Amino acid sequence: MTSIFKLMGCASALGLAISGAANAQETGPFGHSSNGLSFPFAAAIAKGFADAAAEVGAEAIILDSQGDVLKQTNDIDDLLAQGVVGISVLPNDSVVATAWADKAAAAGVPFVASAGQVGDPTTRPIDDVYEGMAALVTQHEVTAGHQIGLLAAKLLDDDKTAKVAVIEGAAGYAEVGLRTEGFEAGMKEAGQPYEIVAAQPGDWTSEKGESACQNILASNPDVDLFFNQADDMVVGCARAVDAAGSDALLLGFGGSKLAIQAIKDGAVDGTVCYKPEEIGRLSFNVLHDIATGTADHTEEFVTYETPAVTIDNIDLCVGQW
């Protein structure tokens, strides 16, 4: 089937519609609100969502909030006004997203969170899906952090206390605390003594990751390992480490194409492999199941395997973003 791509204007956002054969509930429209399509990971989720819709001849409306919480609130209103039969959201703010889930539930529209928790991450376990939602579709952030912590322990010298620096994502994202929680649990389980000597935000980007690592190396030149909470940041951090002549190990998070290549080139030591297109695809499938009556989904936690990889097993990770 050939899909037709067209630009759709709306009051608060520019959307991309992917159209197939029309057939009421089964063909949508289905909506996806992204936290920002300029982020490769978020764009890959949207691609997976749109591709899954196209495969069954359904229409997908993809809206880009461009990192703006207020704009994303308006995007949810726009999707509901357009009569979508299901909504998937990669939220900018986990707590604010509860209002969007409540609004969708009140309208009788199934709501799925994609790769981002809904609810206060400091009080709600990641697999405790917010009330009334159809599903949370994501990698298990704590489990993935645990895997990268075990990998870090394997690479480090356990005869001394390792000096670890954490390059965090952006404030407001549930993933920041969850990934560090898992990382520390993995290090402790492996019996690796460590001290987190510094933590700075890299805001998920290569440039800010590089800057954060430069700042940390200036005051902590003997850092043994940088745990970067996203692969874009580890690629930037690798530049800072190289420029400083540091021997620090570099671990990323996410399995991006750039990080996979950096591991193959010897610039980065490892990462944990995420599959954002699979998140988008699974999110659409949940909504499509409900729309077609194929299956019911209520407050489900849907996830997939996320292996830690180094140069020794890098073929396990095919970069999707």
- Tens digits of per-residue pLDDT, 24-75? 578 889 999 999 999 888 999 999 999 999 999 999 999 999 999 999 999 9
R_g (Cα) of the chain, nearest Å: 20
Query: Which runs of consecutive H residues, i.e. helices, occur in the chain?
Result: 24-27, 40-55, 69-81, 97-106, 141-155, 174-189, 206-219, 231-244, 257-265, 276-292
pLDDT of residue 25: 73
Q: Which residues of the chain have pLDDT under 50?
A: 1-23
Calpha distance 237→291 (Å, rounded): 44
Pick the CATH number of 4-139+275-302 from 3.40.50.150, 3.10.180.10, 3.40.50.2300, 3.40.50.920: 3.40.50.2300
Helix (H) and strand (E) counts in the chain = 10, 14
- Torsion, Cα 118 119 124 125, to 10 degrees, reads 10
Determine phi and psi for 187, rounding to 5 degrees.
-60, -45
Calpha distance 145→253 (Å, rounded): 8
pLDDT of residue 280: 97
Sketch the domain layout of the chain as residue ranges. Answer: 4-139+275-302, 141-273
CATH of domain 141-273: 3.40.50.2300
pLDDT of residue 24: 55
Between the alpha carbon of residue 201 and those of residues 106, 167, 216, the distances in Å are: 36, 6, 11
pLDDT of residue 98: 97
**Is-same-fold flag (4-139+275-302; 141-273)?**
yes
pLDDT of residue 19: 34
Q: Which residues pair with 30 in a beta bridge?
A: 60, 86
